[in-house]
Structure 1
Amino acid sequence: MRMTPVDFRAMASFLAVTFLAAGVLGAVQPATGIPVEVIQLTQFGPALGVGVAAMLWPGRVRALLTGGLPGRGGRGVLLIVTAPLIIVVSAGAYAALSGEVRFTRPDAPFALIASAQLIGACGEEIGWRCFLQPLLRTRFGPLAASVAVGIVWGVWHVQVFAQHPVYAGAFLLAAVSMSVVMGWALEGARASKLLFAGGFHALINLGMLLFMDEESGTVLPMVLFGVSCLMAAGVWTWLSAGRGWATAAAPAKLTAIMEDVR
């Protein structure tokens, strides 16, 4: 169950294109006139990374994207439910501590923002949870693979590190924790994983936009959000690892599929 040189090259190509494309897309967005509250073009960096990897190694990328294990729709539904719970806990804790209820009314129509956020989230998740997660899963367990993806995902939001160090640390904690949640929820999933991962991601983004004022750089809301995500990750880990929800055979089966393609 070790990664082949081809898999390392595919991962390196994906990451290089993902980071480079995100930088370029972020630089050109002001010229497009598209408001960042509607969608951030950087979100399509991972999709472009997968596209390049697919052109170079089509069989292996197809195997990773489609998977080879029976899906579990029930966990996907629980994943979708987890997103608003994280926001409720975060916003509720902030209101209790500060006496202020945060709500940001968007300038653009909400239906447009919600649709665009789902598209953008899927543009990210086809790379993070549909490609990189199963690729690392051929070598590591579900928790280790999810943590690794979460770290890369968090660091990819490089603009966050221009904020206060505590804000940046809390964001990184949230990214890793959400990656763990999605990793457990999508363990063994097949075609439905993009929709569930994108739905969870979009709901989180919408909740942060409306109730957490994520772009302000204020430390306390981000800290509370990070702690809420960590709590969710703890519950999912307890349910998945502690109660036998994990799919222990996933690496062997997926590795066998990968070995049959080039």
Structure 2
Amino acid sequence: MTSLLKKSPAVSYCIITFLLSGLLLLLHFVFPAAGGYSVSFPQYAPTLGALVFCLLTGNPAAFTDILKRLRPQRAHLKWYACAVLLPVSLIALSALPLPMLELRYQPWGGDARFYILNIIFMLFGCFGEEIGWRGFLLPALQKRFSPFAGSLIIGTVWGVWHINFSYGILGFLLFTITTIELSAIMAWIYNQTSGSVLAMGIFHLLLNICSRLWLWGRFGVTLYAVQAAVFGIACVIILVISRKDFFRRPYLTEREESHAL
């Protein structure tokens, strides 16, 4: 079993994560009110999947290394700023044309307790995803593929994992396109920070918070189409700027190269 897992780590990890996601989803039937505070139990499956994979393959040190990449590094301060400004800008730009498309602003909120609890649970949930998606799966993919190809794969997996059929097949396809685009943007920051999981968690958290604040009540096919266009433009700019590295196959960060020696 160990040799099978090691032979196809990315595929094995995805299978483990999807199985764990299904099990964790059952908790929402036990705690139905949790969703009202941005609690999503399956968000912890990507991290648990990475932990289970590392334990099954007899390499718990690999999971410890992922956790070490949560530490802030002074050399990456400008990229942490990028991880803050980019998601805020992307969501703001996505919100701008919505009133012209007859999607009026709807406030998301309640009292101070509501905001505090939601942000806390979003914080844990976003990092619960990123320790797995970008901490484990992305570097595993980049050992075989370019960042561009890796982004296509992880973005597709990420989109399918959300099982977002609330707005039909078209809504699901558009949503998955946005997760692919976001994966490319995040891979760019990830590689510029030598694999910072902290930067990935910050990006994801700000994306979710801004989506709640500025897009609440307007999710659907129209919004996903707008986001696909906005995120797509950002992707094209990044691909042009970093085309040499983004299409290099395989791609290892400085940290991964040192471990490979």
Short-chain TM bin: 0.7 to 0.9
Deviations 1:119-154 (A, max 9, x none): 100000111111110111111111111121111111
Deviations 1:3-62 (A, max 9, x none): x96544432332122111111212221312313442211100101100101112316734
8 Å Cα contact 1:103/1:213 also seen in 2: yes
Alpha-carbon spacing, 1:106–1:78, altered in 2? closer, same or farther (3 Å): same
Aligned partner of 1:151 in structure 2 is 156
Q: Which moved more, 1:100-109 or 1:120-129?
A: 100-109
Deviations 1:91-142 (A, max 9, x none): 1111233262233225762122112111100000111111110111111111
Residue 224 in structure 1 maps to residue 229 in structure 2: no
8 Å Cα contact 1:13/1:52 also seen in 2: no
Q: What one-letter code is carried by the residue in structure 2 that aligns with 1:94?
A: L
Matched residues in 1 for 2:160 and 2:103: separation? 32
Matched residues in 2 for 1:170 and 1:94: separation? 16
Residue 26 in structure 1 maps to residue 30 in structure 2: no
Matched residues in 2 for 1:218 and 1:111: separation? 26
Deviations 1:147-177 (A, max 9, x none): 211111111111x135322211111111000
8 Å Cα contact 2:154/2:183 also seen in 1: yes
Matched residues in 2 for 1:25 and 1:6: separation? 22
Residue 79 in structure 1 maps to residue 80 in structure 2: no
Q: What one-letter code is carried by the residue in structure 2 that aligns with 1:91?
A: A
8 Å Cα contact 1:64/1:131 also seen in 2: no
8 Å Cα contact 2:13/2:49 also seen in 1: yes
**Aligned to 2:98, which of 83, 94, 101?**
94
State the 1:217 CA deviation: 5.4
Q: Which moved more, 1:124-133 or 1:21-30?
A: 21-30
Alpha-carbon spacing, 1:231–1:64, altered in 2? closer, same or farther (3 Å): farther
Give every structure 1 segment of 4 or more consecutive aligned residues whose post-TM-superposition deviation is greater than 6 Å. Answer: 244-249
Aligned partner of 1:45 in structure 2 is 45
Aligned partner of 2:35 in structure 1 is 35
Matched residues in 2 for 1:111 and 1:169: separation? 33
8 Å Cα contact 2:10/2:141 also seen in 1: no
8 Å Cα contact 2:130/2:201 also seen in 1: yes
SS of the aligned residue for 2:26 comes to helix
**Aligned to 2:205, which of 190, 202, 206?**
202
Supply the RMSD in Å over aligned alpha carbons: 3.0
- Name stretches of at least 5 consecutive residues in structure 2 with no aligned partner: none
Alpha-carbon spacing, 1:249–1:226, altered in 2? closer, same or farther (3 Å): closer
State the 1:181 CA deviation: 0.3
Q: Which moved more, 1:94-103 or 1:197-206?
A: 94-103
8 Å Cα contact 1:174/1:229 also seen in 2: yes
State the 1:188 CA deviation: 4.9
The aligned runs of 1:1-262 (5 Å cut-off) are 7-32=6-31, 33-57=33-57, 58=59, 61-62=62-63, 65=66, 72-98=76-102, 100-106=104-110, 109-158=114-163, 160-190=164-194, 193-213=196-216, 218-241=220-243, 250-251=251-252, 254=256, 257-258=259-260
8 Å Cα contact 1:53/1:61 also seen in 2: no
State the 1:185 CA deviation: 0.8
8 Å Cα contact 1:121/1:202 also seen in 2: yes
- Name stretches of at least 5 consecutive residues in structure 1 with no aligned partner: none
TM-score (norm 1): 0.82
8 Å Cα contact 1:45/1:123 also seen in 2: yes
